Structure 1
Amino acid sequence: MSEHAQQRTLTGPRHPLARRMEAVERGEALRLLGSVPVGRVVFTQHALPAVRPVNHLVDGDNVIIRTHPGATLSAMTAPPGSPDVVVAYEADAIDPVTHLGWSVIVTGYAALVTDEEELAHYLQVLHPWVPEPMPYAIRIRPDLITGFRLLPADTSHVPNAGIP
Structure 2
Amino acid sequence: MSLEVLSPRECRLLLEEVPVGWLAHCADRGVHMVPVNFAVHGSEIVVRSAYGGSLGAVVAGRLMTFGAGSFDPATRTGWSVTVTGTAHLLGDELVNPGLPAADVWAGAIRTVAIGVPMTTVSGRRVHAQTPPR
Gap regions ≥5 residues in structure 2 = none
Using the alignment, how far apart are the partners of 1:155 and 1:115 within structure 2? Answer: 52
Pairwise CA distance, 1:117: 2.8
Q: TM-score w.r.t. structure 1 length?
A: 0.73
> Moved runs in structure 1, 4+ residues, more than 2 A?
114-122
Alignment length, in residue pairs? 133
Q: Does 1:149 align with 2:125?
A: yes
Q: TM-score w.r.t. structure 2 length?
A: 0.88
Match of 1:75 among 43, 50, 56: 56
Deviations 1:12-41 (A, max 9, x none): xxxxxxx11101100110110111000001
* Correspondence list, 1:123-138, <5 A: 125-138=101-114
State the match for 1:41 in structure 2: 23
CA spacing shift, 1:93–1:156, aligned 2, 3 Å? farther
Pairwise CA distance, 1:44: 1.0
The structure, 1 or 2, with the larger RCO (C-alpha pairs under 8 Å, 6+ apart) is: 2
Q: Partner of 1:126: helix, strand, or coil?
A: coil
Pairwise CA distance, 1:127: 2.0
Pairwise CA distance, 1:115: 6.2
Gap regions ≥5 residues in structure 1 = 1-18, 158-164
- Identical-residue share of aligned pairs (%): 26
State the match for 1:106 in structure 2: 83
Larger Rg: 1
Using the alignment, how far apart are the partners of 1:102 and 1:156 within structure 2? Answer: 23
CA RMSD for the aligned pairs? 2.1
Deviations 1:79-101 (A, max 9, x none): xxx5x320111100110211101
- Contact kept, 8 Å, 2:25 with 2:57, in 1: the verdict is no
